[in-house]
Amino acid sequence: MSSLAFTVFGIHCILIVTGLSGNIFILIVHLLDWLKTREHNPCNIIINSIGTSNIILQGAVSFQEICFFISPKLFSQVWVSFLIIGIMTSLTLSSLWCATCLCFYYCVKITNINRFMLYKLKAKLAKVVPWLIFFSVVLSWSSGMPAYWDLYFHFSLISGNKTGNVTMLMFYRNGSRCNCFFEMSIFLASFAFAIIILTGGAIITSLCRHMSRMRQNNESWGQSRIQTHLSAVRTVTSLLVLYLVFFIIFTILSNPTSITDDVTITVGFIVVACFPTLNSIILILGNRKPLNTVKKILGMKASMTNTNVSVITHD
C-alpha cells in the first residue's frame, strides 16, 4: 500500500470512528435522559432521527469506499452501483428532511405566533413531530430506492487528439429510464432547503424584534431567550451550509459525468465521509444536554444558560 493510499485509509478510519461515536453519543445521552424522566421530548426525537440516519449513512459510505478502494470489481458491477446510489440517496434525503423538521420545530417553538392556526400547531407540536418524521422517512425512501430499477449506464465515445494521435475516450453517466429520478431528488432537496431558509429567516426576524423590544423597554430579563434565538440561528445556518456542500458533492459522485481521475473521487469520498461527524458536532453544540455532558467529560463547567429550544414556551 502506497503512502498516499495509507493516508487516505487512515483519514477514512478516523472519520468513521468520530462519526459513529458522535451520533451514538447523542442517542445514549437522550436515552439516559428518557430513562430518568420517561418523557418524549419532540426535539430529542427529531435529533435522534437525524443521528440514526447519520449512523446508517456512515455505514453505507464506508461500504462504498471499501468497494471502491479494496474491491473495484465489485464496485463496478451495475447492480452494486445502483443499489448504493439508491440507499445513499434515501439516507441523505431522510437526514435532510429530518433536519428540516428540526428547523421547523425551532421556528414554531421560538417565534412569536399570533395567528390562531399556528398557535394551535404550537400547542400540538408534540403530536405532530412523530408524523412529520414518519412522512419524511417514507418520502425519502420512496424517492431514493427506485434508483435501483430506474437507473442505467449511458456510455459515449469522444475522440481526442493528443500529440497528433487520434484516440477514442469513453465516458459514462447514470441515465434515468423515466427521465425523472435526478430531477425528483433535486426538487425534494431544493424544497427542503427552501423550508430551512424560510425558518431560519423567521427565527432571525423574531430575534431582531425581540432585541428591539428589549431596547425600547430597557428589559434585561430576556437575555436567556436571546441566547435561545442565537443558538437556533447558529444551528439552522450550520445545517444549511453543511447539507448544501454535502448534496453538491454527493450529486457529482452519483452522476460522474465530469469526473476523470481517482483524486477527485477520493476527495469527494472524504468530504462525504466528513458529513456524519460534522452533523453530530452541530447537533451537540445546539442541544444543551449533550453539550453539558461533553463539558462534564472534559472537566469543564456545564452551561447554566438554557439554550435548549425544546423547552421554550414564550409566545
Which H or E run contains 159?
A: strand 151-162
The residue range of the domain holding 9 is 3-152+178-311
What tens-digit pLDDT sequence spans the chain (315 residues)? 566 667 777 787 888 888 889 999 999 999 988 888 888 888 889 999 999 998 988 888 777 777 766 776 776 677 777 788 788 888 888 999 999 999 888 888 877 666 666 677 777 888 888 999 999 999 998 888 887 777 655 544 445 444 555 444 444 455 566 666 777 888 888 899 999 998 888 888 877 777 777 667 665 555 666 777 777 788 888 888 899 888 888 777 766 555 555 666 777 778 877 888 899 999 988 888 888 888 888 877 766 554 455 434 343
Contacts of 261 (CB under 8 A, 6+ apart): none
**220 within some domain:** yes
CATH of the domain at 272: 1.20.1070.10
Residue 129 lies in a domain: yes
- Total domains in the fold of the chain: 1
Calpha distance 18→276 (Å, rounded): 8
Distance CA 89, CA 208 (A): 37
In a domain, residue 164? The reply is: no
Determine, yes or no, domain membership for 172. Answer: no
CA atoms within 13 A on the CB side of 14: 10
> What pTM, to 2 d.p., does this model score?
0.79
